[in-house]
Amino acid sequence: MGFKCGIVGLPNVGKSTLFNALTQTAAAQAANYPFCTIEPNVGDVAVPDPRLDTLAPIAGSKEIIPTRLTFVDIAGLVRGASKGEGLGNQFLANIRECDAIAHVVRCFEDSDITHVEGMIDPLADIETIETELMLADLDSLEKRVVALEKRAKGGDKDAKELFDLVSRCLVLLREGRPARLAEVKPEERKAFVGLGLLSSKPVLYVCNVEEAAADKGNAFAETVAGRAAQEGAVSVVVSAKIESEIAVLPAADQRDYLEAVGLAEPGLNRVIRAGYKLLGLLTFFTVGPKEARAWTVTRGTRAPQAAGVIHTDFEKGFIRAETIGYDDYVASKGEAGAREAGKFRLEGKDYVVTDGDVLHFRFAN
């Protein structure tokens, strides 16, 4: 499933450096001037999950295949992007194609790296980006609402329902509040997503701090965390410089480097996990002699749809899901032990997959 998280922010906040570290490539040019990223760079990254390393030996799996997220490095936005300033229109279109936003915020002082606004103020930076996204949404909806209202007054039931939803979003946007704060009924969710509103995307704030603050953050990062808490978002502290240095080291040397800088794990692991959580995703596993593999589905996914992630035929011909919880699988030392312990379950079409489920699908050809 192609879950995309777009990396956004003002120029020179460390977006491309972070992207390079995430994907362990130099595909995105990192340079000290605006618009060094012109086309969005795309990279798939493995979601770190130590459970795979536990499952594989139990099943005698020859290969471990983690689940993945796609990160898109989107060029720096500037004030006026919603009106086409810089390369605004192109960048906003790139954001629209993403499922969530990783908003990189500069939380470090460095006189050698220019700031497009001339000062270090993380909250002001956030407001600049957020304002441009909201202005773009406002422009989009105001162009559509008049015709929509006319159809609604003419008795078009679908138009009336959509007009009600659009009106709620417009109230928020005109008050300077993002569309993601709109109260959306479950039955309206598909239509809401279909509006393609930039400010409706869930947001993860990535606080890029100096090396000395990589473990606990700094005062700048604390202000961002406070804002995130107020709006129900998430913030993560990383030092993009440290992460870029870790990324190019051999795996054997990374642990020593982390210990030397006082980190228990790469900050990027936290970014990836936070992005995964932000998108409302969970992991289930398939294990056997050939491979131990993690699969991604959204929370609330039922067994047939989870089977369809592996292959469409599995969903079409779904019969049942042989299910063992992760903890039960490990405690029982595999499927045979789980059967003996009564921890092996047969689940039908209405079963909602739980994070960590070890599944084997039965289907009719």
Structural domains of the chain ordered from first start: 4-278 (3.40.50.300), 300-363 (3.10.20.30)
**Ordered DSSP codes for 252-307:** HHHHHHHHHTT-SS-HHHHHHHHHHHHTTEEEEEEESSSEEEEEEEETT-BHHHHH
pLDDT at 76: 59
- Residue pointed to by tokens 């290969």: 63
Tokens of 188: 């309206």
**Ordered DSSP codes for 63-99:** EEE--EEEEEEPPPP-TTGGGT-TTHHHHHHHHHT-S
Q: Are 335 and 292 in contact (CB under 8 A)?
A: no
With the C-alpha atoms ordered 46, 47, 53, 59, is the resulting torsion angle positive or negative? negative
pLDDT at 114: 55
Q: How far apart are CA 74 and CA 16, in angstroms?
A: 8
Closest-CA residue to 131 (of 10, 5, 33, 274): 10
User: Helix 267-278 and helix 15-23: axis angle, to 10°?
Assistant: 90
Binding-site residue ranges for ATP: 12-17
pLDDT at 117: 58
Q: Are 316 and 365 in contact (CB under 8 A)?
A: no
Burial of 136: CB neighbours in 10 Å, binned 0-12, 13-18, 19+: buried
Q: How far apart are CA 278 and CA 102, in angstroms?
A: 10
Q: How far apart are CA 192 and CA 201, in angstroms?
A: 11
Please compute, for residue 310, the number of CA atoms within 13 A of its CA located in the half-sphere on the CB side: 25
Q: Are 5 and 101 in contact (CB under 8 A)?
A: yes
Tokens of 114: 């220019």
Tokens of 38: 């012109």
pLDDT at 89: 53
| Integer Rg of the chain from CA | 23
Closest-CA residue to 54 (of 243, 326, 353): 326
Q: Are 16 and 73 in contact (CB under 8 A)?
A: yes
pLDDT at 29: 36
Mean pLDDT by 10 residues, the chain (365 residues): 80 84 55 42 84 96 90 69 49 81 89 63 90 89 92 89 94 93 90 92 93 91 93 89 86 87 86 84 95 94 96 94 97 96 96 97 90
Q: How far apart are CA 145 and CA 364, in angstroms?
A: 48
